[in-house]
Amino acid sequence: MEVLPRHIAPWAEELLSVSPVVVIEGARQVGKSTLATLLSSPSATYVTMDDDDIRLLAQDDPVGFLRSGGGHRLVIDEIQRCPELVLPLKAEVDRDRRPGRFVLTGSANLLRVPGAEDSLAGRAMTIRLHPFSQGELTRVVDDWVAAVVSDALGTAPALSREDLVTRIVVGGYPTVQGLKPRVQVAWLTDYAERLVERDSADIAVVQPRILRRLLALLAAAPGQELILDRLAEALAVAAQTVSRHLDILESLFLVQILPSWSRSLTSRQVRRPKCYLTDTGLAAAWSGLTVQQLMSVHGANHLGPLLENFVVNELTKQAGWSSEKFDMFHFRDRNGAEVDLVIETSRGVIAVEVKAAAAPTRSHFKHLIGMRERLGDDFLAGVVLHLGAGRRAGDRLWSLPINALWTESHGGPSAARPLDEPAGARRSTD
- Position 120 scores a pLDDT of 84
Domain stop point among 77, 107, 128: 128
- Is residue 245 domain-resident? yes
pLDDT digits (tens, 9 = 90+) for 81-94: 888 898 899 999 99
Tell me the C-alpha distance between 116 and 155, whole Å. 49
pLDDT digits (tens, 9 = 90+) for 264-308: 544 435 578 999 999 999 999 999 999 999 999 888 899 999 999
Q: Is 93 helix (H, G, I), strand (E, B) or coil?
A: helix
* Single-letter amino acid code for the residue at 376: G
- Rounded to 5°, angle at Cα 71 from 70 and 72: 95
Please tell me the least confidently modeled range out of 132-136, 178-182, 191-195, 390-394: 390-394
Contacts made by residues 354-357, CB under 8 angstroms, sequence distance 24+:
354/304, 354/307, 354/308, 354/311, 354/384, 354/385, 354/386, 354/402, 355/304, 355/307, 355/384, 355/385, 355/386, 355/387, 356/300, 356/303, 356/304, 356/307, 356/386, 356/387, 357/386, 357/387, 357/388
User: What is the band of 153 on the pLDDT scale with cuts at 50, 70, 90?
Assistant: confident
Tell me the pairing of strands 391-394 and 348-354.
unpaired
Domain stop point among 84, 108, 128: 128
Q: Is 89 helix (H, G, I), strand (E, B) or coil?
A: helix
Which among 287, 289, 276, 294 has a CA at the least distance from the CA of 163?
294
Same domain for 66 and 145, yes or no, is: no
User: What is the band of 134 on the pLDDT scale with cuts at 50, 70, 90?
Assistant: very high
- Is residue 426 domain-resident? no
Same domain for 210 and 338, yes or no, is: yes
User: What is the band of 184 on the pLDDT scale with cuts at 50, 70, 90?
Assistant: very high
Q: How many domains does the chain have?
A: 2
Which among 155, 131, 222, 174 has a CA at the least distance from the CA of 403?
155
User: What is the band of 115 on the pLDDT scale with cuts at 50, 70, 90?
Assistant: low
- Is residue 418 domain-resident? no
pLDDT digits (tens, 9 = 90+) for 4-33: 899 999 999 999 999 999 999 999 999 999
On the CB side of 373, CA atoms within 13 Å amount to 6
- Position 60 scores a pLDDT of 94
Tell me the C-alpha distance between 202 and 194, whole Å. 12
Please tell me the least confidently modeled range out of 119-128, 197-206, 408-417: 408-417
* Single-letter amino acid code for the residue at 291: V
Same domain for 111 and 149, yes or no, is: no
The winner for highest mean pLDDT among 88-102, 166-180, 360-374, 403-417 is 166-180
Judged against a pLDDT cut of 50, whether residue 421 lies above it is answered with: no
Judged against a pLDDT cut of 60, whether residue 419 lies above it is answered with: no
Average pLDDT over residues 116-145: 89
Same domain for 322 and 288, yes or no, is: yes
- Is residue 379 domain-resident? yes
What Å distances lie between residue 125 and 122, 321, 329, CA to CA?
Answer: 8, 15, 24
Same domain for 192 and 328, yes or no, is: yes
**CB 76, CB 92: distance < 8 Å:** no
**279: containing domain:** 134-411
Phi, psi of 228 (to 5 degrees): -60, -40
Same domain for 149 and 290, yes or no, is: yes
Distance, first Cα to last Cα, the chain = 48
Same domain for 113 and 149, yes or no, is: no
Task: Work out the angle between the directed axes of helices 280-287 and 300-318 (0-180°, nearest 10).
Answer: 150
Same domain for 296 and 271, yes or no, is: yes
- Is residue 430 domain-resident? no
Same domain for 181 and 238, yes or no, is: yes
Which among 401, 397, 388, 387 has a CA at the least distance from the CA of 419?
397
Average pLDDT over residues 70-79: 91
3-state SS track over 175-196:
HHCCCCHHHHHHHHHHHHHHHH
- Position 270 scores a pLDDT of 53
Report the Cα 162 to chain-centroid distance in Å.
23
Judged against a pLDDT cut of 90, whether residue 163 lies above it is answered with: yes
| Alpha helix ranges (H) inside 221-279 | 228-235, 239-251
Average pLDDT over residues 85-106: 92
Question: Taking all residues of the chain, what is their mean pLDDT, rounded to a whole number?
Answer: 88
Same domain for 343 and 294, yes or no, is: yes
Output the CA torsion sign for 190, 193, 198, 201.
Answer: positive
Report the b/e string of 64-86 with b at 16+ CB within 10 A.
ebbeebeeebbbbbbbbbbbebb
3-state SS track over 322-378:
CCCCEEEEEEEECCCCEEEEEEEECCEEEEEEECCCCCCCHHHHHHHHHHHHHHHHH
**CB 171, CB 188: distance < 8 Å:** yes
Tell me the C-alpha distance between 68 and 90, whole Å. 16
Tell me the C-alpha distance between 328 and 255, whole Å. 15
- Is residue 185 domain-resident? yes
Pick the more confident residue, 333 or 100: 100
Judged against a pLDDT cut of 80, whether residue 162 lies above it is answered with: yes
Judged against a pLDDT cut of 60, whether residue 189 lies above it is answered with: yes
Average pLDDT over residues 95-105: 94
Same domain for 166 and 25, yes or no, is: no
- Global pTM value: 0.91
Judged against a pLDDT cut of 90, whether residue 413 lies above it is answered with: no
- Position 112 scores a pLDDT of 64
The winner for highest mean pLDDT among 40-49, 266-275, 363-372 is 363-372
Q: Which helix (H) or strand (E) holds 155?
A: strand 154-155
CATH of the domain at 96: 3.40.50.300
Same domain for 233 and 359, yes or no, is: yes
Phi, psi of 248 (to 5 degrees): -65, -45
Please tell me the least confidently modeled range out of 10-24, 58-72, 169-183, 308-322: 58-72
- Is residue 222 domain-resident? yes
- Position 71 scores a pLDDT of 83
- Position 202 scores a pLDDT of 80
For residue 354, the cross-strand partners are 385
